[in-house]
């Protein structure tokens, strides 16, 4: 059991939670929900022991594993060893055993110590450690030839996968995962879901992937009203329950207000008469019947709607015998990203681009917008197409040295400043937040600013590369709604299955050096190809 007793935490002057007391039981899988800024990651760090609460205590199982964020700690270790280090007792025993063997010490004391170490290794299933670690790396999509590579030699995405494998290794009693599906492709997400469904300990997970939470979680621990309320069921069940509870409270308040109105009418009519005792009893009843306070939820959903300034021509883009070579890559091997690709896209089509990491999704999008040149073939863009691009990496997309509203207004100087601020308000930049400097913005603020730009300039073609990165669940839902209503043409690379299902009419799957052009929605694609 993991228990939290009277925990409070204030961060940056904001009260995140006050006197929280709750528990998490073995065999249950908890999704930790709440909007950006609610304190999910802060609470997770308190559960991990990486951050102290202002007051209160946390009691956690002895073998508690969590997804580490700093992969530089393991730069000099191989991927395989980094995974095994997830079981601290086993790793220390194995290292001490190796030290004694290498020293050539054959004393009785060394023999006794080796016997004790071998007992620890056997108890921790150490003789199967390498094969179990390899299975985890394979399942998370890390090629076998990289298992013995040093962490410093791996790409950022692979490093994060190794750290996820490290958290999963060694059958921990409690598993704490903050955004484990980041940088995972669809195959790896589905493998992780299967692994977690078979996990018997305590799981607490933060994720912006709604389908992942719905598929995996048995409970949702929701941070709201400065406390944590646990709901049975998955994320969608929690949303329905919260809405029903607020609706019931509102209905009860309406009944009470009607009763209070009737009582006050009686009091007003007979207060000066002979029925004084009845008037007094009704006054007391009015005090008891005061409507319950319906607290304002801290859940805030942005309003995302993409309009187009002018319709494009019917023909949007043609790919003719398109190939692209990577050249030398970080993990060795060059050659073509995919075989010759031919496709024709008409106005209004919404194309979801999927595939493993490194398959070439971002490359294809950059060819679309003209940021890269094809090795062979060409990309022919149609008449009056106006292309808006959201890159996967946001750091260089917003220059420092400005404020939020000034940066946005500079993209369309003729726009009314109040309209610009209204657009920012729809994306949850409220009040004076538009005056914040662009330097030092969070990832969530950056992506919301870039969406503001796309909405302001009203492109008739959108090219989005992993648009849910840094969005919370409400933001992801708002994006899916906005894209479903978009009248232009969409090209989008994403691992978010809900977004694919709700927004796309056609799927391009980059797989085994080819691009499969599936003419139909994602659910039909998934049914046919097992995604």
DSSP 322-378: EE-B--S-TTS--SBSSS-EEEEEETT-EEEEEE-TTSSHHHHHHHHHTSS--SEEE
Mean pLDDT of the chain: 89
The answer for 440, left when phi > 0, alpha when psi is -120 to 50, beta otherwise, is left
Helix or strand or coil: residue 150?
strand
| DSSP category for residue 243 | H
Task: Answer for the pair 449, 398: CB distance below 8 angstroms, yes or no.
Answer: yes
pLDDT digits (tens, 9 = 90+) for 190-249: 999 999 999 999 999 999 899 999 999 999 999 887 789 999 999 999 988 887 776 676
From residue 317, how far is each of 309, 371, 455, 511 by CA, in Å? 19, 15, 22, 22
- Separation between Cα atoms, residue 492 and residue 369, nearest integer Å: 12
Query: Where does the pLDDT of residue 146 fall: very low under 50, low under 70, confident under 90, or very high at 90 and above?
Result: very high
Coil vs helix vs strand at 37: coil
For the cut 60, the answer to whether the pLDDT of residue 282 exceeds it is: yes
Cβ burial, residue 436 (10 Å; 0-12/13-18/19+): middle
pLDDT of residue 440: 77
pLDDT level of residue 434 (50, 70, 90 thresholds): confident
Q: Which two tokens stand for residue 345?
A: 């896209």
What Cα–Cα distance (Å) separates residue 58 from each residue in 27, 54, 65, 179, 218?
19, 12, 15, 22, 22
Query: How many other CB atoms are found less than 10 A from the CB of residue 383?
Result: 9
Of all residues in the chain, the percent with pLDDT exceeding 90 is 60
Q: What is the pTM (predicted TM-score) of this model?
A: 0.79
Residue 294 has pLDDT above 70, yes or no: no
What distance in Å separates the CA atoms of residue 342 and residue 29, rounded to the nearest whole number? 45
Residues 6+ apart with CB under 8 A from 38: 16, 223, 224, 298
Report domain extents, the chain. 2-237, 249-288, 315-529
- Residue 324: pLDDT band by 50, 70, 90 thresholds? confident
Contact 202, 26 (CB under 8 A): yes
**Ranges 69-78, 90-99, 201-210, 447-456: which has the least confidence:** 69-78
pLDDT at 171 over 70: yes
Task: Tell me which of 325 and 123 has the higher pLDDT.
Answer: 123
Q: Which pLDDT score is estimated for 196?
A: 96
The sheet with strand 64-66 has its strands ordered as 64-66, 174-178, 202-206, 29-33, 219-224, 227-232
Q: Does CATH number 3.20.20.140 belong to domain 2-237?
A: no
- Whether the domain at 2-237 and the domain at 315-529 fall into the same CATH topology: yes
Under CATH, which number does the domain 315-529 receive?
3.40.50.300
Q: How many residues does the chain have?
A: 531
Beta bridge partners of 489: 461
């Amino acid at each position: 059991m993991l228990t939290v007793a009277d925990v409070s935490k204030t961060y940056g002057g904001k009260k995140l939670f006050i006197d929280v007391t709750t528990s998490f039981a073995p065999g249950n899988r908890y999704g930790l929900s709440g909007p950006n800024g609610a304190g999910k990651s802060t609470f997770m760090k308190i559960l991990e022991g990486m951050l102290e609460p202002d007051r209160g205590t946390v009691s956690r199982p002895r073998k508690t594993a969590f997804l580490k964020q700093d992969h530089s700690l393991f730069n000099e270790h191989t991927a395989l060893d980094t995974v095994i280090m997830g079981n601290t007792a086993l790793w220390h025993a194995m290292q001490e055993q190796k030290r004694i063997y290498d020293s050539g010490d054959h004393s009785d004391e060394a023999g006794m110590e080796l016997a004790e170490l071998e007992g620890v290794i056997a108890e921790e299933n150490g003789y199967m450690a390498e094969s179990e670690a390899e299975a985890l790396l394979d399942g998370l999509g890390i090629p076998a030839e990289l298992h013995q590579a040093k962490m410093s030699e791996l790409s950022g995405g692979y490093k994060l996968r190794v750290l996820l494998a490290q958290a999963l290794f060694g059958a921990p009693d409690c598993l704490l995962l903050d955004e484990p599906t980041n940088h995972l492709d669809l195959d790896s997400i589905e493998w992780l879901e299967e692994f977690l469904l078979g996990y018997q300990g305590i799981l607490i997970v933060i994720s912006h992937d709604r389908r992942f939470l719905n598929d995996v979680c048995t409970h949702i621990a929701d941070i709201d009203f400065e406390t944590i309320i646990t709901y049975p069921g998955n994320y969608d069940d929690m949303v329905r329950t919260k809405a029903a509870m607020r609706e019931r409270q509102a209905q009860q308040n309406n009944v009470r207000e009607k009763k209070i109105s009737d009582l006050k009418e009686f009091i007003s009519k007979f207060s000066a008469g002979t029925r004084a005792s009845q008037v007094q009893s009704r006054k007391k009843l009015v005090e008891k019947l005061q409507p319950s306070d319906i607290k304002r939820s801290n859940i805030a959903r942005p309003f995302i709607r993409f309009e187009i300034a002018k319709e494009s021509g019917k023909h949007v883009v043609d790919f003719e015998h398109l190939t692209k070579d990577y050249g030398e890559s970080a993990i060795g091997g060059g050659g073509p990203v995919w075989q010759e690709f031919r496709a024709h896209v008409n106005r209004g089509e919404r194309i979801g681009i999927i595939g493993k990491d490194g398959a070439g999704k971002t490359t294809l999008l950059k060819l679309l917008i003209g940021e890269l040149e094809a090795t062979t073939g060409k990309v022919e863009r149609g008449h009056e197409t106006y292309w808006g691009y959201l890159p996967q990496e946001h750091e260089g997309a917003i220059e420092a040295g400005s404020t939020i509203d000034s940066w946005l207004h500079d993209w369309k100087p003729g726009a009314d400043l109040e309209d610009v601020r209204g657009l920012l308000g729809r994306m949850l930049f409220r009040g004076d937040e538009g005056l914040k400097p662009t330097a030092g913005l969070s990832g969530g603020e950056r992506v919301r600013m870039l969406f503001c730009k796309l909405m302001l300039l009203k492109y008739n073609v959108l090219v989005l590369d992993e648009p849910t990165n840094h969005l919370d669940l409400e933001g992801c839902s708002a994006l899916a709604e906005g894209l479903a209503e978009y009248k232009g043409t969409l090209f989008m690379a994403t691992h978010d299955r809900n977004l694919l299902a709700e927004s796309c009419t056609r799927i391009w799957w980059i797989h085994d050096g080819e691009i499969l052009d599936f003419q139909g929605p994602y659910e039909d694609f998934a049914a046919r190809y097992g995604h």
